Structure formats: structure tokens, C-alpha cells
Amino acid sequence: MKVVVLAGGVGGAKLADGIARILPPEDVTIIVNTGDDFEHLGLTICPDLDTVMYRLAGMANDETGWGRAGESWRTIDAVAALGGPDWFRLGDLDLATHLVRTNKLRAGESLTAVTQHLCQKLGIQVSVLPMSDQPAPTKIQSNDTIHPFQTWFVQEKWQPPVTKVVLPEDVRATRSVIRAFETADLVLIAPSNPFVSIDPIFNVYPIAALLEDLPQAVIAVSPIVGGQAVKGPAAKMMQELDLPHTSRAVAEYYGERIDGFVYDVQDAGSCDNLEVETRCLDTMMVTEADRVRLAQEVMQFAEEMLSN
């Protein structure tokens, strides 16, 4: 069964890793949000692509969820000593990724080609695709201020209340992304932030239409557990966007876009008589074994749905 996983940061990377561990690599494509990307210190930084790649390569930093394990910070601290910006913590090992990526992009390679190169060097066998090769910066409007994403997320620690998530117009999917959707039997929406990780992917033309027209099943895994986001601003954003911060509200937010919904045992009973098929599972992924188990249970749910 050919599976496409839509992923953002930490939660998305974990489900992607679980799926990559149980399916043949040629059947798995991870399509990653690039709305968080930005230019910083002259480097092109792609946080969600890097979080997914490091997790798939077994070198993710489990404390932070982003960057690399066993990191050191000598360079960024030397940057600070020279009066440079150190608010966005770039580790010494992580910098290698940004240097190689930026160098290749400057030489004219596409982000898709650069990502493929990095994955090959990191020993990643599944396909990891940026949602587009064009810049597609997500901005956060808070009342009458519009913040670049990383300024809001890191510098402001996602505290400014979100009035609106501002997505770019005219961003187009790559041929590889379109082909992945056209050959998919199943699309999984990982437990990522619906507004700043998943919506930016749907915003890329013609992904929303592709998902509507093609026969495959679309299953989302809730990023909200027990009324809280497992990590990051999703629950806070739901309140600011006048949505209940519940897993049921996530299913209702995805609405027609999904055929199935997976929510956590902590929310048992909260997603009965939804339009879509649902499955109540232990969705917390702390260990690798958790990631494999959840992936297996989600695939079982999908197979049951697809066989009906």
C-alpha cells in the first residue's frame, strides 16, 4: 500500500518515523511543510524538513524535538560574541545541514533535489519531499502586527495571540509531490499543528483538489490530547481562533478533508458520532516502540477502512 504522510515538525516527524519503520521504503513518501523556512545568517533554514530528516536518520534531539542529538553550540555562541543574532539556536552539527543546503540552492539546485541529496547522505530510504520548491513563508497576524513565522514562534515564544495565519498565494506543488498524491492509496495527516504545519501544505496548488478528487483514504491523527497540544502552540491557537481545544474540534476543523480520524485514549468518548470513521488509540509517541506501535495501529485502521 502506497502511503503519503503530511508532516510538520516534531509530531509529524515521529509518525513519519513509525511508518518508515514498518513499511517498505518505496511505499512511503513524507511531504513536509516548508512554511517555517526562512533566511537567517545568510543561510536557508528549513526547520520541518530537518526535524523530519533527523528523526528518520535516528539523530533527532529528543529534548528539544528539533536539531540534532549530541549537539554543541560553540559557533552560535561565537556569533553572539561578535554581535550576531543567537535567538535562533543553530547547533554546530546542525549548521552543516544549513551550509550544504544553502550552498546547493545557491548553485541552482531545487529544494527537492537538495533534500534528496541530504536524505541519501543521512541513509534515509523513504522519500522526503518539500511541499513546494518555491518559498512559501507562513506569517502570523496578531491584531495589527504581522510576524514572520520564526519571529513569532521562537523570538516571541508563540505568545502574541493569533488573529490569523497568513498563507502565501500562488505556491505550486512539485511534480514529485503531485505524483506522490496520484499514486497514493492512503494519505496520513500526522499529529502536527493543523494551522501552521498542515494547512500550509493544503494551501499549495493543487494539493487540496488532488485530495478531494483522488480515491485514496485520508486519515488524520489528532495533535491535541486531553485538551492540550503534545508540543507547541496548537491548543493555544485553537482558543485564539475561537475553536474548542479538543481532539473533536480538530476532526471538525479538518471536516470534509478527511475520511478517518485517530484520537487519544485520554479523550475516549469525545469523538462519537462524528461524520468520519474514528479510532481511539494511545497516540503518545515517547519511544521508538511507541512510534512503531502507533504506526501499526493506524495502518490497521486504514486497512479496515479501505477494505469496506
Instruction: Tell me which residues touch ligand FO1 (CB under 6 A).
Output: 8-9, 36, 47-48, 50-51, 66-67, 88-90, 94, 150, 153-154
> For residue 245, what is the enclosing H or E element?
none
**Nearer CB in complex with ligand FO1: 90/173:** 90
Q: C-beta of 68: minimal distance to ligand FO1 in Å?
A: 9
Q: C-beta of 188: minimal distance to ligand FO1 in Å?
A: 18
Q: C-beta of 276: minimal distance to ligand FO1 in Å?
A: 26
**Nearer CB in complex with ligand FO1: 193/270:** 193
Strands annotated E in 122-243: 127-130, 139-142, 145-148, 164-166, 186-189, 217-221, 224-225, 228-229
**Nearer CB in complex with ligand FO1: 66/254:** 66
Q: C-beta of 179: minimal distance to ligand FO1 in Å?
A: 26
| Of residues 97, 43, 105, 40, the one with CA closest to residue 66 | 97
Max Cα distance, the chain (Å): 63
**Nearer CB in complex with ligand FO1: 12/18:** 12
Q: Could you give the CA distance from residue 56 to residue 166 in angstroms, rounded to a whole number?
A: 30
What is the DSSP code string of 21-45?
A: HHS-GGGEEEEE--TT-EEETTEEE
Q: C-beta of 167: minimal distance to ligand FO1 in Å?
A: 15
Q: Could you give the CA distance from residue 266 to residue 226 in angstroms, rounded to a whole number?
A: 6
Q: Could you give the CA distance from residue 106 to residue 174 in angstroms, rounded to a whole number?
A: 19
**Nearer CB in complex with ligand FO1: 8/137:** 8
Question: Residue number with the shortest CB distance to ligand FO1?
Answer: 9
Residue type, 31: I
| Of residues 196, 118, 114, the one with CA closest to residue 158 | 196
**Nearer CB in complex with ligand FO1: 149/181:** 149
Q: C-beta of 89: minimal distance to ligand FO1 in Å?
A: 3
* Residue 279 φ then ψ, to 5°: -145, 130
Q: C-beta of 25: minimal distance to ligand FO1 in Å?
A: 23
**Nearer CB in complex with ligand FO1: 36/259:** 36
Q: C-beta of 258: minimal distance to ligand FO1 in Å?
A: 21
Q: Could you give the CA distance from residue 262 to residue 243 in angstroms, rounded to a whole number?
A: 19
Pinpoint the alpha helices (H) of the chain: 10-22, 47-56, 74-81, 92-106, 111-121, 149-150, 175-182, 199-202, 207-213, 234-240, 247-254, 288-307
**Nearer CB in complex with ligand FO1: 152/263:** 152
